[in-house]
Structure 1
Amino acid sequence: MLQKMANFFDRIMRQYTPDPFVIAIALSAIVIILASLTTPHSTGEVLHQWGSGFWNLITFTLQMAMILLGGYVMATSKPVQWLLHRLAQSVRSPVMAIALATFVAGIASWLNWGLGLVVGAFFAIELAKAHPGINFRLLVASSYSGFLLWHGGLSGSIPLLLNTKGNFTEDLMGGRIIPLSDTLFSPFNLVVLASLFVLLPLLNSLMAKPEDPQTFLFTNEPEEQDRVAETFADRLDDSPVVTIVLAAMGLGFLMQQVLRGEFALDLNRINFLFFFIGLLLHWRPRRFLVAALEGAKKTGPILIQYPLYAGIMGVMVKSGLADSMSQVFVNVANAKTLPLLTFFSAGLVNFFVPSGGGQWAVQAPVVIPAAQQLGADIPLTAMAVAWGDSWTNLAQPFWALPLLAIAGLKIRDIMGYCLMALLFSGLILSVGLLIFA
């Protein structure tokens, strides 16, 4: 039954899903038309909002390109290749490989969403090398489904923000700070996480079937041979001393931050760690540069598509369209159903504002007063936004771009399987929100 459903969605999505770049263009047009028709703003004003927001994610765009590049550099080093190879070889069947890919990506995403994206992709590739003939598309989709867990994990932007003194929602809640014990470590979140950690790998493994051996098999890239150093410049390019000097500077800075209590595992520091760990793992500067050049070739989709999403977010926020979408759900809610309806509204808004922090900035002024007025659980309602944000990532190519670039696949190759995970996880989250409301 599950295989038939998965085959149906897979067939439809592979036939009709366009490239993510085309999807981003279509979403841009839809948002501009909707904002022009349903808000007080003219088409000219909406176009101005779109253009003004086009570069608002420029820092984030570079961060995401660097996390892909850093992950690629680390994963293609000989020590990491050996470790991933040994771990992949220990898996005895394709079904186990798919379940393990889901679980490993889920753990990594729970620890940090940036780690989840790159770890899941490279582990999937190693599993594919170890098990020729495995359904590589399902394997990559399984890794991406593990990314669902990020907003219920240690890098979840909404729960971390609510626990931060001086955050923008503090005034909305009368100066209240919501501790992590009420969000990340609440009974609702722990039960949902445990359920997804067990059931998502099971779902993905049940969808496994033999794959056509002529398609979607990852092939090893030829390994570059060490060259003979003929000149002083060649010897310098291959000298580990250069690596050690730069790595000592970088890791020394991080140690200084730890000792001063200034270290936090944010995206910039993850990229910093990836850079210097990758440098050490390759050991010789030239090897590091070769790996970085190959990794840089995979960042193109991120660089050209994220500005489009920044423009979409600009329209959604400045025109009030995101607020209107959220308000539709809030208007029909009561204390029991508000978290669930907020979850669905967050899932919808996420298609147009695919950023947890940005989405909370849009929805918090709507859902917090509604929760107060209806007597609903505010921390649970906030987590409903968090989970809604991560839930529809399974059907939104924004976050899949780094993983797809690493795996060499198109969004259509994994979307059918991701829709199965979307429906299944949506059911689990909906039931959890109703039970704990």
Structure 2
Amino acid sequence: MAVTDDASPREDGWLARTALKFTAWAERWFPDAFVFVGLAVAIVALAALLNGAPPLVVAKSFGDGFWSLVLFTMQLAVMMIGGYVLAVAPPVERGIEWLASIPRTGRGAVVFIGAVAMLVSMLNWAMSLIFGALLARACARRTDIHMDYRAAGAAAYLGVGATWAFGIGSAAAQFQANPTGLPASILNVTGIIPLTQTIFLWQSLLTGALFFIMSIAIAWWSVPSRGSTLRAQDMGVDVSLDARDLDPPSRPGEWLEYSPILTIALVALGGMWLVQEFATRGLIGGISNLNTYNFIFIMMGLLLHWRPRSFLAAVQKSVPSVGGVLVQFPFYGGIAAILTNATNAAGVSVTDQMAHAFASLATQSTYTIVMGLYSIILGLFIPAGGARWILAASHVMQAANDLKVHLGWAVQAFNAVTMSNLINPFFMLPLLGVLRLKPRDIVGYTFLQFLWHVPIGLFLFWLFAHTLTYMPPVMP
């Protein structure tokens, strides 16, 4: 694929023109992320009322479920904080500046940002948001290339929008490999499904690689020409590098904050625990535990910052990026409770109606397509993959057992066909906080990705389902 020099004249291709039209529409009509979740609450509540649930029951379900995801919210917040802290550690930051010097054109920079974000998401999807955003800012500081900041922001989001579910941070795959995190209602249906039967299947690895290539190609062809480009400076965004120098200690009591002694002690203690954890559970079993996963990134961040004061400064700067999650996630807990607990006189909930429709439509051949569409629709109301899996796993996996569909592939199909992330602004918030943009600035480009990912993704999961055979659940 030939590289187009920034200085050479080039007309916008049809993908670039389409992305610009979507962006123009989004800038005028796309709501703020909180409005999005507020609308989701209203729609789900209305669906429950139409299903016959009394208003007081709907209200009680909403209030009772508001705090139901507190533990997962905390885990999610710590994951984002850990990803941010690690991404802004001085050695990693120097690496980002070096990476930003590699692209030779603005279009090349957008594609490069997308590729790096997707690769990082295979290790930590939260880190990919921060790492991708910081890489986009670093590229935007360059004066020798002409990079569209909107397209770069959308590319930085591709890790969460396209490939995260194929990596070790895949929420549903981790839940299924770690039975202590599963409710009995799900575990009795699915049993234990190791990561070797989900993210490490060759079908999953190949599908992830194809998603990567497709996302890169769309990003390449949707970058606008120089005449249509909006740089960060054109959008009034200051992308200058934040000062990292620490103020010297002002009193003797602060000396430990500036000394690596505590860092060495804490990391050594944490390292010994990790050695025992992996020796007991194995590498795959260890990283399947979300708490262990977060622990690793916090310890790595602490070590690379070296001094506690630097580590704490990074933690403080990470807080704005998780504010949207802390405020909005309880509302998603309320949504989940309305869907499952607000029942009519016959004891039927909205989720029961959806499950019945799902079971009546799916066959062994069409299972992944029907479930993929179900997951996409559900993702518009409950964006977190883990929460969505807890809500839907019991009925989608019972259907997989009944239809003799490979259980590990059912997990991957449900979790990876979550293209709704590309249009639901919830997980954009940490990235946009770093970029200092609004969802409407990048959603035109992510929606273009969505339009390609849905049909191709559904086809790939349908195709590879025919290469796998059903295995009964393995109980702990």
- Mark yes or no: TM-score above 0.5: yes
Q: Does 1:293 align with 2:316?
A: yes
- Cα offset for 1:187? 5.1
Q: Distance in 2 between matches of 1:227 and 1:159?
A: 44
Deviation at 1:412, TM superposition (A): 1.3
Aligned to 2:345: none
Aligned to 1:308: 331
Gaps of 5+ in 2: 1-13, 343-348, 467-476
Give 1:396's aligned residue. Answer: 424
Q: Is the 8 A contact 1:188 1:432 kept in 2?
A: no
Task: Find the counterpart in structure 1 of residue 50 from structure 2.
Answer: 37
Partner of 2:147: 134
Mean CA deviation greater in 253-262 or 350-359: 253-262
Deviates more, 1:361-370 or 1:426-435: 361-370
Moved more, 12-21 or 245-254: 245-254
Tell me, which stretches of 5 or more residues in structure 1 are unaligned? none
CA distance in 2, matches of 1:61, 1:227: 33
Q: Which runs of 4+ in 1 moved over 6 A?
A: none
Q: Which amino acid aligns with 1:212?
A: L
1:225, 1:177 → 2: CA distance?
A: 48
Distance change (3 Å), C-alpha of 1:271 and 1:335:
closer
* 1:64-213 matched pairs, under 5 angstroms: 64-130=76-142, 133-147=146-160, 148-162=162-176, 168-169=185-186, 171-172=188-189, 178=193, 180=195, 182-186=197-201, 188-209=203-224, 210=226, 211-213=229-231
TM-score, normalization by structure 1: 0.88
1:159–1:180 Cα contact (<8 Å) kept: yes
CA RMSD of aligned residues (A): 2.8
Amino acid aligned to 2:39: A
Secondary structure in structure 1 of the residue aligned to 2:141:
helix
Count residues with an aligned counterpart: 433
2:438 partner letter: K
Q: 1:185 to 1:128 in 2, by over 3 A?
A: same
Q: 1:73: Cα distance to partner?
A: 2.6
Q: Give the 3 Å change call, closer, same or farther, for CA 29–5 of structure 1 in structure 2.
A: same
Q: Work out whether residues 174 and 290 of structure 2, in 8 Å CA contact, stay in contact via their aligned partners in 1.
A: no
Q: Tell me, yes or no, if structure 1 residue 358 matches structure 2 residue 413.
A: no
Letter in 1 for 2:333: A
**Which string of whole-angstrom CA distances, capped at 9 and with x for unpartnered residues, describes residues 322-371 of structure 1?**
33224324423333222211110111112223333433343344334444
Task: Decide whether the 8 Å contact of 1:306 with 1:398 is kept in 2.
Answer: no
Report the residue type matching 1:192 in the other structure.
T
Deviation at 1:379, TM superposition (A): 4.6
| The one of 237, 259, 264 aligned to 1:239 | 259
Check the 8 A contact 2:237/2:436 in 1, yes or no: no
Q: Name the SS of the counterpart of 2:365 in structure 1.
A: coil
Which sits farther off after the overlay, 329-338 or 29-38? 329-338
Please say if residues 32 and 315 of structure 1, whose CA atoms lie closer than 8 Å, have aligned partners that are also in contact: yes
Checking the alignment, whether the CA contact within 8 Å between 1:162 and 1:169 is kept in structure 2 is no
Query: Structure 2 counterpart of 1:137, which letter?
Result: R
- How much has 1:180 moved relative to structure 2? 4.7
Preserved CA contact (<8 Å) 2:73 2:329: yes
Q: Which residue of 2 aligns with 1:386?
A: 415
Structure 1 residue 11 displacement after superposition: 1.0
Question: What is the letter of the counterpart of residue 421 of structure 2?
Answer: N
Q: CA deviation at 1:54?
A: 0.6
Task: Please give the per-residue CA displacement for 1:189-221, whole angstroms capped at 9, x wherever unaligned.
Answer: 233212111121111121112323411655124
Deviation at 1:417, TM superposition (A): 0.9
Q: Aligned residue for 1:327? A: 356
Q: Choose the corresponding residue for 1:13, options 22, 26, 42.
A: 26
Q: SS where residue 199 of structure 1 aligns?
A: helix
Task: Report the CA distance between 1:170 and its aligned residue.
Answer: 5.5
Residue number in structure 2 paired with 1:257 = 277
Please list the CA deviations of residues 219-248 of structure 1 after superposition, one character each: whole Å capped at 9, or x if unmatched. Answer: 124415444445423544322334333333
Return the offset for 1:185.
4.0
Task: Output the amino acid matched with 1:332.
Answer: L
Relative to structure 1, the CA distance from residue 233 to residue 6 in structure 2 (aligned partners, 3 Å threshold; closer, same or farther) is: same
Distance 1:28 1:169, change over 3 A: closer
Residues 244 and 425 (structure 1), Cα distance of their counterparts in 2 relative to 1, 3 Å cut: same
- CA deviations on 1:150-208 (whole Å, 9 max, x unpaired) are 223333233444456696546446xx755555543445423321211112111112111
Query: Quick one: percent identity of the two aligned structures?
Result: 29
1:289-323 CA-to-partner distances (Å, cap 9, x unmatched) read 33322222333222211111111111122233233
More deviation in 230-239 or 56-65?
230-239
Q: 1:41-99 CA distances to partner (integer Å, 9 max, x unpaired)?
A: 21111111111111112222222322333333333332221111112112222222222
Distance 1:161 1:309, change over 3 A: closer
Q: Any residues of structure 2 matched to 1:416-431 within 5 Å, and which?
A: 416-431=444-459
Q: Is the 8 A contact 2:263 2:303 kept in 1?
A: yes
Q: Distance in 1 between matches of 2:395 and 2:81?
A: 38
Compare 196-205 and 141-150 and name the one that shifted more: 141-150
Q: What is the Cα deviation at residue 108 of structure 1?
A: 2.2
SS at match of 1:18: coil
